[in-house]
Every structure is written in structure tokens, then in C-alpha cells.
Amino acid sequence: MNTVYMPQIHTEYKTTRRVIEAVPADKTGWKPDPRSMGALELASHIASSDCAFMSGIANGKFDFAADGTVPASVKTPADLLKWYDETFVKASARLAATKADDLARMIDFHGVWTMPAVAFAGFMLSHAIHHRGQLSAYLRPMGAKVPSIYGGSADEPMQMPAQA
């Protein structure tokens, strides 16, 4: 876990933070379509799911209500980032400390599928990346800048190293 997934989990967390941070505080309800989640709702879904997946893997069972519920007091992207930072640190530390035997145990995901606990780390990353892509697509129409994610963006071009 520590050599394969934890470095990527921490890298994706930093990128997710940058996308959430870019959401304008006065546009948290913005959505591209009535069927879509609002910006803060989507950002909260990403942050809470990350924390709930890590806790579920460490616990050997998923309880998204207990492990990934964003408090009702979270009203802004800044509030969400404060909660995410605190909750992520605890959940990722517990995940990093999970023993290999526990990572190999089978976990049921709400009756949808059963996989070894460690496989849910990969699913968690795919889930976060998928929804973060949706949220990043909201930014420009909301009047915000799109941060660099896996390379430069029009708003934050990639910085190339100086030639020797």
C-alpha cells in the first residue's frame, strides 16, 4: 500500500484540493444542467468519498454515513477544504498503517460487488479522478480559472525546465 497507492493518493489529494480551491465561493450552487450536482455538492462528494473509501478499506467495511459525511456547517469551498484536510490526514494515516493481511481481505461494497480491500484503493482513485474532471469542467463557465491537473491548462500553463 505504502509504495504503490499511498504516493498516488497523496498526489491526487493535492490536485483535488487545487480544483476545489478554484470553485468561486459565490458560485457553489452552479451546475451545467438541472440533473447535475451543484459545484459544492460535487466537490463535497469527491472529498467525502475519498475519506470514506480510505476508512472503509482500513475498517474492512464501508460505512459512508459514518466515515464520509461532510458536516452541514460546510457552506463554502474553504469550509470544505478545512474539513477535507483534517479528515484526509486521519483517514490516509489509518490506510497507510493497514496490514497486508487486512488489505487482502474481501470487502462487500453495499451488495454491488466484493473485492479485496486493496482493490478499492484503485477504485477510489478512479472515482475521484472522474468526478474531479467533472468539477474542473464547471470552473471556466463559472468564471474561474482551471488549475494545472496532469499538465498545464490555459489558465496555468506547464512550466518547462530551463535549458542547461
State residue 68's pLDDT score.
81
* Spatial distance between the Cα atoms of 44 and 29, rounded to a whole number of angstroms: 12
* Spatial distance between the Cα atoms of 148 and 10, rounded to a whole number of angstroms: 16
5-21 helix and 39-59 helix, angle to the nearest 10 degrees:
160
C-alpha cell at 158: 506547464
Over its C-alpha atoms, the chain yields an Rg (Å, rounded) of 17
DSSP output for 48-107: HHHHHHHHHHHHTS--HHHHSPPPTT--SHHHHHHHHHHHHHHHHHHHHT--HHHHHSEE
Distance from CA of residue 151 to its chain's centroid? 18
Mean pLDDT score across all residues of the chain: 95
State residue 3's pLDDT score.
84
Percent of the chain with pLDDT over 90: 88
Give me the phi and psi of 133, to 5 degrees please.
-60, -40
**Count of helices and strands (H, E) across the chain:** 6, 2
Map grid coordinates 440533473 to a residue. 35
Parallel, antiparallel, or unpaired: how do β-strands 106-109 and 113-116 relate? antiparallel
Q: Per-residue pLDDT for 79 more than 80? A: yes
Q: What is the average pLDDT across 39-59?
A: 97
* Spatial distance between the Cα atoms of 68 and 28, rounded to a whole number of angstroms: 20
Out of 64-68, 70-74, 125-129, which region has the weakest mean confidence (pLDDT)?
64-68
